[in-house]
Amino acid sequence: MRLAVIGTGYLGAVHAACMAELGHEVLGVDTDPERVDALAAGRTPFYEPGLPGLLKRGVDAGRLRFTTSLTEAAAFADTHFVCVGTPQRPGSGAADLSHVEAAVDGLAHALPFSGYQHVLVVGKSTVPVGTADRLARRLHTAAPDADLAWNPEFLREGCAIRDTLRPERIVAGVRTAHAETRLREIYAPLLAAGIPFIGTDTATAELVKLASNSFLATKISFINAMAEICDATGADVTTLAEAMGADSRIGPRCLAPGLGFGGSCLPKDIRAFAARAEELGCGESVVFLRQVDEINTRQRRHTVDLAEQLVGGSFEDHGVAVLGAAFKPFSDDVRDSPALAVADAIRRRGAQVRVHDPEAIDNARAAYPELQFALDVTKTCERADVVLHLTDWPQYRELDPAALGAVVRTRAVVDARHSLDPVAWRAAGWTLRAPGRPRLGRPEGARAVLRSQGIWEPAWSDSGHERTH
């Protein structure tokens, strides 16, 4: 089938490449000519494992190409996926839908000249409930025969290709039987592999994404709230999470305590959900999401306080090494990064802060030019008075604490992701602190249980990515 993908940012580029991998002819559309040229050459403006190779395979096979022209897209395909961003509106928790509206309006003006009948526009962007109905009315004004459906994405940065080609479910909010039939045809290879297809109305489809992300954010903030209780009582949050996760009704996923969630999805999605609920007159039903957001932010302050305790109560004239800048591993995304928020807070308290990350240094430097950065872990930690482990990259777990201890000024580390081995680090002479673990013992808990089962789970996970995510 011929498909157009409107918007080739993170979501759009991944979706376009994966649809070409499924055998469809795909045309990606973006307003940025430089991005279009880069994608056509198999280069991505962001880090996502496996995506460059997938792009190149689609382009070389002739199934994938890119353009800046919506008119060309309208003439090329009868199905158009809208994959543009919905960031948080400045000064408000609500979602900014200007990119989605511009994409649909642009298509609406181009479609009457496309020559196709029964055109289907499919939204994949995360939007407030009720958006699809409103956009459908706008679409029908210019293109009366066009149909609109909503097919939310559930990608985790770092494993987005797997989440597209082997999703846990496909949700399709449709207004007509024809739209559902078209989507079933598009995803036929996945349905043949046993992937569940959940057909519903557009409002429910919109809510599935927001409700899923809100539930995951709540679960993450809940275990981090328990970490605060553990600090106050002497209990161990990782053992608590392990025992809770053994209950099949709860499960261990997203129950790993740590620095909390960040990125471009979970924080803004729960705020947008709460804002939309207030517009609908039922804000009290999701008032707990405000507390979820506050707990998540408080984890960052708590991590700063732990580090400050380790340097004697003041950061002034102390060196701090930060391991991690991306909001999660296997990504170079630093939007709402907990690691960088902590690093900058410590800098503002008077410390000399040096940051390392395997992939996100360039983005981090652009976002936080006041911080110092290094491309080597050893250089990052030279003469540091405390080391902070803030992004759960696998290579940080594999560090030799004895070798690293030879370059720091003080062997003190805050493991905000609960994945360093406290026995090994203490044996090498380090003082190790972690939120919710006042008496450190075995490095186990919900995350360790998942790894023992052969499942790698980042410190947070969101339904749009990251299964933060």
- Span 28-60, pLDDT tens digits: 999 999 999 999 998 998 999 999 999 999 999
> What is the pLDDT, as a whole number, of residue 319?
97
> What is the pLDDT, as a whole number, of residue 438?
81
Beta-carbon contacts of 407 under 8 Å, excluding residues fewer than 6 positions away, are: 378, 381, 382, 383
Angle separating helix axes 131-142 and 202-233, nearest 10 degrees: 150
Domains of the chain, first to last? 2-199 (3.40.50.720), 237-452 (3.40.50.720)
> What is the pLDDT, as a whole number, of residue 467?
32
Decide: 257 and 299 in contact? Cβ < 8 Å.
no
> What is the pLDDT, as a whole number, of residue 440?
66
Q: Which of 271, 469, 267, 259 is nearest to 345 (CA)?
A: 259
> What is the pLDDT, as a whole number, of residue 112?
83
> What is the pLDDT, as a whole number, of residue 457?
45
Reported as a single tens digit per residue, the pLDDT across 54-80 is 999 999 999 999 999 999 999 999 999
Reported as a single tens digit per residue, the pLDDT across 103-139 is 999 999 998 878 788 899 999 999 999 999 999 999 9
pTM over 0.85: yes
Strands (E) in 185-318, as ranges, are 197-200
Query: Strand, helix or coil at 71?
Result: helix
> What is the pLDDT, as a whole number, of residue 116?
85
> What is the pLDDT, as a whole number, of residue 91?
86
User: Is 265 a residue of the active site?
Assistant: yes
Cα–Cα distances (Å) from 288 to 128, 214, 282, 336, 357, in that order, read 18, 10, 12, 21, 34
Share above pLDDT 90 across residues of the chain, in percent, rounded to a whole number? 88
> What is the pLDDT, as a whole number, of residue 450?
47
Rounded to an integer, the average pLDDT of 197-209 is 97
- Calculate the CA dihedral of residues 157, 342, 276, 469 and round it to 10 degrees: 20
Rounded to an integer, the average pLDDT of 279-297 is 95
Beta-carbon contacts of 7 under 8 Å, excluding residues fewer than 6 positions away, are: 29, 30, 82, 83, 84, 85, 99, 103, 125
Reported as a single tens digit per residue, the pLDDT across 143-163 is 888 999 999 999 999 999 999
Reported as a single tens digit per residue, the pLDDT across 308-341 is 999 999 999 999 999 999 999 999 999 999 999 9
Q: Looking at 83, 159, 265, 381, which residue is catalytic? A: 265
> What is the pLDDT, as a whole number, of residue 345?
97
Considering the chain, what is the average pLDDT of its residues?
92
Reported as a single tens digit per residue, the pLDDT across 434-463 is 999 987 644 444 445 445 545 444 333 333
Output 31-34 pairs: Cβ under 8 A, ≥24 positions apart. Answer: 31/68, 32/68, 33/68
